[in-house]
Structure 1
Amino acid sequence: MELQRKRSFNTSTVSHDFRKEYKGSFLEKKCMKQRKEQKSSKSIGLRSIAGWFLTKAKKSGAGTASTTMAVAPKSPAPVATKTTVKGQMVTVQEKSPSHFDRIPNELLFEILNHCKSEPTTVNAARRVSRRFNACMSHVADVNVNDLSRLVITGLGRKGVEMRWVSYVGQKTKVTVVPWSVIRSQKPGVFEFNFKRFAIQRILLKNIPLSDDLVDFLRHQLQFSDLSKLLQLSLTQVDFSPSNCLSLHRFLAPLTKSLEIFEITQCTGMRADSVTDEHLAQLNAATVRRIAIDGVRFAGGATRQLDIGDGALRRFARLGAFPTMILDRCAVTTNTVCDYTKEWFEQCNESEKQLRSQVCTVKRCPRVKGSQFEAECRRRGLRCKNRRGSGSLTLYNVQEENTKREFTIALAALEEKEMAEKLKISTDSQQPQMNLLAVPSA
């Protein structure tokens, strides 16, 4: 069935249809040509007015007052007001508004709307006045750039280097932000830049994780598109000036679509620097890799992070089994075995799951290799150990009549660390007062 357009022209009373005669005629072409000429003349006129404004602003900023007075109309004289202060008459000179500020907003938007295509013209218009800058922010087209990497590197006392890398456009840009700007918390310092970004990866390198830095990054990242964020890596970050809430507040707006979360070679860490609560912020449906490696505590004592059985149980309960590297954590042997058993029970038999899944547990004092083999056999799993690289011992865990394999890599504590651990455990047997414990009756 062919659809026909409803006729709004009544042809019952008039036998001749003038619309067919007008369509494609010389009169229609003439009208279209006149409309295009009017539109182009308006655009040319507004562009010429905008060019005159920018030339006028440039000349007035350069200090050529004589040339400016010859081109532009003379501005009115300042308004003088008289006030009485303590019985004496004081004359105050008020600066009159310039001819740029007298332009109505509607006309100003029409003028600036024809300047948004050229970057040089946009930058020149922003330098005219604060009003032009604010109006240009509304009329300029904000082209979103896919930012492949946002690398934030510490420069010592000098400040922070922010490097914007785009693989698609093969472009990079570096900006140095002093610590005074970060501590001042000035709103809108890089607001225009971050509004254009759709960030895919954020990398922090060799930088102290302070509350001022966290607040500064949170304020700037709220303007960006974080729906494509895949990776967050903290490398050689100093956790000394931070507390447990610093990382929590930094992760809050970033974990919705995060797939890779890495904390490697970080210094000044404490037991509560990274905990189960921090890993609970990650979206279990999207995360694929969690790496906490090269942990260096403050003071040099052998300690462990508050990442224990709760994190593994949560991921197993939600059916998420990301590739994990846990260094100096409080996980136990039984929970690691349960995590392995849950992986075999919940993963489907598919071509994707035929490859081995790896969980690396390094320098965790509560996980022992001999006990791990016994626990796996008690759960009906075949466990074969083989020597890995360095101090790693790899355990290949398999089910009966299946090709799926779960690899557990265990790295024991070194001899010096083990001696310090035994010394600390001996000292801890003495009665000590726990401030967080509730005294019994």
Structure 2
Amino acid sequence: MLRKALFIGYLWPEPKTTAAGHRMLQLLECFMANNYKLVFASTAQKTSYTANLYELGIATAQIQLNHNSFNDFIIDLKPDVVVFDRFMIEEQFGWRVAEFAPNAIRILNTEDLHSLRSARQSSIKTNKAFTNKEWLGADITKREIASIYRSDLTLLISKIETELLKSVFHISEDLLVTLPFLLDTVSEKQQSKWPRFEERQNFVFIGNGRHAPNVDAIKYLKSDIWPLIHKELPNTKLNIYGAYLPQHVNELHKPSEGFFIHGWIEELDTVLQETRVNLAPLRFGAGIKGKIIDGLKNGTPTVTTGIGAEGITDFTTSYDNPIAFAKNAVALYNFEKQWIAIQQQNSEILRNNFSKEKLAPYLFKIIDNIKRKLDEHRYKNFIGSVLQHQTMASTKFMSKWIEEKNKKK
């Protein structure tokens, strides 16, 4: 039986510029493969990087914030499932879905825990060690946790984040599911076509300029890490690719120092397969990092930090000290046996942790179980029902106030 799912996006998917866009496309394709008719809606404007969803057989809709036209839209659609892309979207549209499509399963897709990333960023800015106390005390944390409780199910890309929600906030595992990137298996035949060690050269960093951890990492590379690597390997280059890089990052372009800012690149897989070592010195962030997964998919060993490796089981090449980071990057670049061993280890990580064939059935089994016992599922989520209650629904009444205000203009 063909079911209907509505995805409400914070942005239109850009799989070639962001890991979040790639992740969203994976989810859409999984729902289609499991007999769902899809509609993707967003308040955002499309860009030249936006995926052509129409070609994939996905209907699209432009929707408005704080406008009752969405009420009629969702009543007519009658979705079985609604997926909110990040908690900000659930805040805006969750109450309308609950009111006008009460039987639809409400799923929050976090991409990563925004509040965790924000708290870690603050600790870097203030040069203080990250603690749960600062995370718990932030307004964005309260908003994100409230959104998780209001949803029937929340998708977490990293097992670390799932465990944090259970241990720090005592959120029931019935409301959470760990769903890493959903990837096709890289076959031995595909791996045999990867360029060999001696056919690759230079270093690479990949990162969208609208993502603060990436901008910080590029600056960190320029100031603390690359000078150490370039001193040992003066004939190598560091090539930096990413859409939406800000001007102050473009100004770091220094060919005389082997530091190259290129901007966006369409054929990312080709670039990675031509490169010997992938660098990802992320000092804050959350979730699983798409740039590292891209390295795994193309047989390009990555040197990263503890934050970068977070959520990736058995990932070994992570170093938080810039001297250790640079030293191990140089060693990986120079020693073929070590490079091949890491490449093989990374292929195992990819196979064991990110197989779409294993993960997709797991997700839809959970969704189907919730659908069969939706009332019971919501009854157990008492805090969620409290947050849905009208006396607590501040986002609903703020939206209605803005809606009425806009009518008078």
Question: Higher RCO, 1 or 2 (CA under 8 Å, sep at least 6)?
Answer: 2
The TM-score with structure 2 as length reference comes to 0.27
Higher helix share: 2
Q: Which has the higher strand share?
A: 1
